[in-house]
Amino acid sequence: MVADRLNDAAAGGATMCLPTGSTPRQAYAHLAAHGDLSGSTVFLLDEFVLPDDSPARCDSMLHRDLLNRMTHPPKRLETWDTNAPDLAAECARMEDAVNGVLDVAVLGIGTNGHLGLNEPGSPVASRSRVVELHQSTQAASTTYGSGPIPELGVTFGLADIMDASTVWLLATGTHKAAIIADALTGPIGIAIPASVLQDHPQLEVFLDPEAASRL
């Protein structure tokens, strides 16, 4: 369903923000085999500050899981240059590139409730910026490939996400059930960044039965 919806959005010329990690892999596999993103502009949601050859980098995962397997990749792809001498300036460049126009923001959720790399405590008004990674996020990065563990990342902020016309939240597995329940039915606050999505007028949530088991 997610792959088909992304394909439809791309056919309409959508500007979209895509995540990486284990959650969207099955959707990306289907999209790579059957989809066409050539009408779309794709922004990478976030990135770890890691060497270019690290398999745990988000751009590496996006290419490995989706783009390198597509016959019709996006007409435009914007990723983060973490080798830039000024990371704050690189974040400003990405902010300018998106120019407030995201038709679809596709998101996963961390077990600590983060969206992108907006860790607990992130301001609701936050924009593209450099972030210090939570221990649980650092630990999760080790499942994406061997090498150094990132301490910093860059990400679109919560305000950028909330500005998107439509937001899709994806989660799979029992290990996401508790945080999904807290984020979607608990109080809204910066302790669980994903809780701010309760206020988004066009939020769609895609869960497997395990991730939805506490709702």
**Catalytic (active-site) positions:** 46, 112, 114, 119
Q: Which string of DSSP letters, residue by residue, matches 183-201?
A: HHHS--BTTBGGGGGGG-T
Dihedral sign for Cα 138, 184, 128, 12, please.
positive
What crossing angle do the helices spanning 2-11 and 25-34 adopt, rounded to 10°?
Answer: 50
Phi-psi region of 79 (alpha: psi -120 to 50; beta: other; left: phi over 0): beta
Residues 6+ apart with CB under 8 A from 85: none
Element (H, E) at 180: helix 177-185
Q: Is 57 buried (19+), middle (13-18) or exposed (0-12) by CB count in 10 A?
A: buried
